[in-house]
Amino acid sequence: MRRYIIFCIVLIRFTFSIKAQVPIYKSTNSTTINNDCVSGDCKNKYGRMKWSNSDSFTGFFKNGNMFMGTYLFDN
């Protein structure tokens, strides 16, 4: 019983020590971000980017990189 309690305590501490990591998609050319941003703030907030091939990304940006959002491919 004592081993079970120690195991549970260790498991709980380990579970809370793990941090979720969200991937950040980096742009290869930071100057393109300013030219392709069609609305919002594409540097550190919410915005929309559209490229010459009609692909677009709408969502959140972090340090000028796509962070979380929806990427639409032109078919």
Residues whose CB falls within 8 Å of the CB of residue 11, separated by 6 or more in sequence, listed in order? none
pLDDT computed for residue 5 by the predictor: 84
Query: Does some domain include residue 35?
Result: yes
Q: In what order do the strands lie in the sheet with 37-40?
A: 37-40, 46-50, 56-62, 65-72
Query: Does some domain include residue 8?
Result: no
Domain span holding position 49: 21-72
pLDDT computed for residue 54 by the predictor: 85
Query: Does some domain include residue 57?
Result: yes
Condensed to tens digits (0 to 9), the pLDDT of residues 46-74 reads 999 888 888 889 999 988 888 889 998 88
Condensed to tens digits (0 to 9), the pLDDT of residues 8-51 reads 777 666 555 555 545 555 555 444 445 688 888 888 889 998 88
pLDDT computed for residue 31 by the predictor: 43
pLDDT computed for residue 35 by the predictor: 65
